[in-house]
A and B are shown apart, each in its own frame.
Chain A
Amino acid sequence: MEPVSGEQVNEQPRMDERGLVELDDSIPKVAEIDGTKAQFDAKDMTTRKINAELRWLIYEQGIKDVTVLNPSARHSLGTAILARCRIRFEGSLGYFGCGLIDGPEIHITGRVGWSVAENMMSGVIVVDGNAGSLAGAALRGGDLVVRGDLGARTGIDQKGGTIITLGNAASMTGFMMQRGRQIICGDVGPGLGDSMYDGTIYVGGKVAALGIDCVPGDWTDADTELIGRKFSSYDLGEPPELQKFVCGKKLYNYDSLEPSERKLVL
C-alpha cells in the first residue's frame, strides 16, 4: 500500500489574538490506502487529527474498511460517523469512544473507558476487553458487545438497541432505561433496572439487588430466539441460563411513544 501524499503537518501551534492555542484541524492524509481499505498509525496524532483522518477516508475517499493502529486510550475517537463502514481500532480507547454514530461496524481490540457508544443510532460496536461506566448511555439502536466487564450505570437512559456483555456489570445497570435490551452474562451490582420505564434486562449471574420497580419477567419464545440470534451473530458461544427482568410499571405514569408516534395516535 502506498501512502497518499499529504499536507505538511504544522508542528508550531497557531495562536489567536488572546494568545490561546488554535486547534489545528488540518487533515494529515497519511493513511495507506488499498482500494476500499485503509490503515494509519495514530501514535503521534492528536485526537482531532485522528478523527479528521477517519472522516476524510470515509466521506471523501470512499473507504469502507479502516484500521487505526495505536489509539493509545485517547478520548472521543471514532465519534459521529454517519456512514456504513468498518472501523477497527487496534488497542484501547479512552472516554466517549464511538459516540453519536449511525451505521458503522466498529471493532476495538482493547478496552474502552466511560461512555462508549453514547447515543448510537445504529451499527455495531464490539469491544474485546472491558468497558468503563456509562457504556451505551442513551443508546438508540444497534448492538454494543463487550467481551469483558462493564462499569456502573450501563445503558442509563437507554432508548433502544442491545447491550451484551460476557462479564459482569456494576451498580445501577439499566437505570432509567426506556427501551431496548441488555444481556449480562455475569453478575450485576445493586440497583439493577432502577426506575426503568420499559425494555428488558437478562442476567446470567447473581443480582446484588433489584432497583426500584424492576421485577422478574415471564420468559417467552421470543426471548429464546433473540438470545440465540445475538449469540450466534457475534460468535459468543452458548448463552448461559438467563433470568429476565422488566419494569413492574408500578410507578408508570408515562407512555412509551416517541413524539412522532404520539402524533399518529392522536
Chain B
Amino acid sequence: MCGIAGIIYRNGGGERQVGRDMTAMLQAMKHRGPDSTGFGLYRGTDDSYVMHVKLSEAVEEDADLEQRVQRQRDEIEARMRAAGADIQDIKGTHRTMAIVFGFDGDLKVLADAVERVRHTEVLSLGRSLEIVKDLGDAETVSDEYHLTDFKGTHAIGHARMATESDVDIANAHPYWAYPFPDVAVVHNGQLTNFHEWRRRLTRQGHRFQSDCDSEIIAVYLAEKMSQGKSLEEAMRDSLTELDGVFTYICVTEDALGVAKDMLGAKPLVLYEDDEVVALASEEIAIRQVLDREIETHDPYEGEVKVWSR
C-alpha cells in the first residue's frame, strides 16, 4: 500500500532539520511499506550542483564487487572532469556516491556520460535536490546515510510495499525526473496507462531506470514544465491524462505539490499553517513533527495543491 510524506517550511522560514523530520514521519508509517525507504531532501540552493549516484544494487552476487565499484568511482570522476565539471567534494556509502560540483554545461549530457558507466544510475541531480533510497525502514536508511543532520527547506519521502516491481533500489521512490534538475516524485497507487506514457516519453528521449509505474509521473510532470506549464498546471493535466489510482507528491527547487486522482482512492492527510505544510498517508506521521494538537483534513478527489518555500 506504501506510505508517502512531504513537509515544506514556508515564507522563507530558513533551513530546518528536514532529514530528521522525514525520518520520523516515515518511521511512523513503517507498517505501510517495509521493503524500502526513500528520501528526497532539498538543501538551500547555492551555486554548486549535487549528484547522487547508485553504483550497485543493495544485493548483488558479484565476487568482484568491491573492485568493480572502485572502477566505477574512478570512471565517473574521470568522465565528469572530462565533461567540464569542477568536482568539489565526493561522499557516499559503499554502493553510492554523492558528488558536489560546479558546472555550466548541459546537465543531460553530463548525466548521460555518468550513466554510460556500466551498473551506474544517477539517482538525483540538481542545485538543491538530494535523493537517498535503500532497502529497509526509515531509521535504517537514515542511519546509513547520516540523514538526521540534513538541513533544508522541504522534503518528501516514501515507505514502499512493492506491488508492481522488484524490491531493490532501482524500484524504490522517490524518482528524479531525468533529465530535469531538482524535480522528484513519490507516489502511492497504481497507474494503468504507464506503458503508453513510457513509450511516448521514451520516444521523446527520456530514459527510465526501473520497471516501476511511478517513475513516469516525475518525467511526465517535468516534461510538461519544460513546455512552459507551471507545476500546478502540469499536475492538473495529470488528473485526466494519467489513468489509475494515485496520490502523489511532486517537489521542485522551490515548491511542493500534491495531487489526488478523480476517485480519491488513496489516502492523504494534510496540515497547513503559515509556517509549515505537512502531509502524509497517515496523520500519525504528521504528529511526529508537530508535537501539539493540530487540525487536519483529507484533500478531496481531483484536488491539486501547491505550496512554495
* Interface residues of A, Cβ cutoff 8 Å to B: 72-75, 91-92, 94-95, 110-111, 113-114, 129-130, 132-133, 148-149, 151-153, 170-172, 189
Does A151 contact B295, Cβ atoms closer than 8 Å? no
Output the nearest chain A residue to B266 by Cβ-Cβ distance.
A133
Tell me whether B263 is interfacial, beta carbon within 8 Å: yes
Chain B 106-131 residues near chain A, CB threshold 8 A: none
Q: List 25 A-B contacts (CB under 8 A).
A: A73-B283, A73-B284, A74-B284, A91-B293, A94-B282, A110-B295, A111-B283, A111-B296, A114-B267, A129-B295, A130-B295, A130-B296, A130-B298, A132-B269, A133-B264, A148-B297, A149-B297, A151-B264, A151-B300, A152-B263, A152-B300, A152-B301, A170-B264, A170-B298, A171-B264
Name the one of A110, A113, A148, A189 contacting B282, with C-beta atoms under 8 angstroms. A113
Minimum Cβ distance to chain A for residue B261 (Å): 11
Minimum Cβ distance to chain A for residue B10 (Å): 22
Does A73 contact B287, Cβ atoms closer than 8 Å? yes
The 10 closest A-B pairs by CB, nearest first: A73-B283, A152-B264, A170-B300, A151-B298, A73-B284, A130-B297, A171-B301, A132-B298, A94-B284, A73-B287
Residues of A contacting B301 in the complex (Cβ-Cβ under 8 angstroms): 152, 170-171, 189
Name the prevailing secondary structure of the A interface residues. Answer: loop
Residues of A contacting B263 in the complex (Cβ-Cβ under 8 angstroms): 152, 171-172
Residues of B contacting A113 in the complex (Cβ-Cβ under 8 angstroms): 267, 269, 282-283
Minimum Cβ distance to chain B for residue A138 (Å): 18
Complex: how many Å from CA A92 to CA B269? 12
Minimum Cβ distance to chain A for residue B125 (Å): 36
Residues of A contacting B264 in the complex (Cβ-Cβ under 8 angstroms): 133, 151-153, 170-171
Complex: how many Å from CA A170 to CA B267? 13
- Chain B positions 261 through 284: 1 when the CB is less than 8 Å from some CB of chain A, otherwise 0: 011110101000000000000111
Name the one of B267, B269, B286, B300 contacting A171, with C-beta atoms under 8 angstroms. B300
Complex: how many Å from CA A170 to CA B298? 10
Residues of B contacting A111 in the complex (Cβ-Cβ under 8 angstroms): 283, 295-297
Residues of B contacting A189 in the complex (Cβ-Cβ under 8 angstroms): 300-301
Task: Give me 4 other A-B pairs in contact (C-beta within 8 A), A113-B269, A153-B264 excluded.
Answer: A113-B283, A133-B267, A152-B263, A171-B301
Minimum Cβ distance to chain A for residue B25 (Å): 12
* Interface residues of B, Cβ cutoff 8 Å to A: 262-265, 267, 269, 282-284, 286-287, 293, 295-298, 300-301
Does A132 contact B267, Cβ atoms closer than 8 Å? yes
Minimum Cβ distance to chain B for residue A11 (Å): 18
Complex: how many Å from CA A153 to CA B298? 13
Output the nearest chain B residue to A153 by Cβ-Cβ distance.
B264
Output the nearest chain B residue to A172 by Cβ-Cβ distance.
B263
Residues of A contacting B298 in the complex (Cβ-Cβ under 8 angstroms): 130, 132-133, 151, 170
Complex: how many Å from CA A133 to CA B282? 12
Minimum Cβ distance to chain A for residue B245 (Å): 12
Complex: how many Å from CA A73 to CA B286? 10
Output the nearest chain A residue to B282 by Cβ-Cβ distance.
A94
Does B300 contact A94, Cβ atoms closer than 8 Å? no
Residues of B contacting A110 in the complex (Cβ-Cβ under 8 angstroms): 293, 295
Complex: how many Å from CA A132 to CA B282? 10
Does A72 contact B267, Cβ atoms closer than 8 Å? no
Residues of A contacting B262 in the complex (Cβ-Cβ under 8 angstroms): 171
Output the nearest chain B residue to A168 by Cβ-Cβ distance.
B300
Contact A75 to B284, CB < 8 A, known contacts A113-B269, A133-B267: yes
Minimum Cβ distance to chain B for residue A117 (Å): 16
Among A91, A133, A153, A172, max chain B CB count under 10 A is at A133
Residues of A contacting B265 in the complex (Cβ-Cβ under 8 angstroms): 152
Minimum Cβ distance to chain A for residue B279 (Å): 13
Output the nearest chain B residue to A111 by Cβ-Cβ distance.
B296
Residues of A contacting B269 in the complex (Cβ-Cβ under 8 angstroms): 113, 132
Minimum Cβ distance to chain A for residue B132 (Å): 27
Among A73, A74, A95, A111, max chain B CB count under 10 A is at A73
Minimum Cβ distance to chain B for residue A210 (Å): 16
Among A95, A110, A151, A172, max chain B CB count under 10 A is at A151
Residues of B contacting A74 in the complex (Cβ-Cβ under 8 angstroms): 284
Complex: how many Å from CA A129 to CA B294? 10
Minimum Cβ distance to chain A for residue B253 (Å): 31
Complex: how many Å from CA A129 to CA B297? 9
Output the nearest chain B residue to A72 by Cβ-Cβ distance.
B287
Complex: how many Å from CA A152 to CA B284? 20
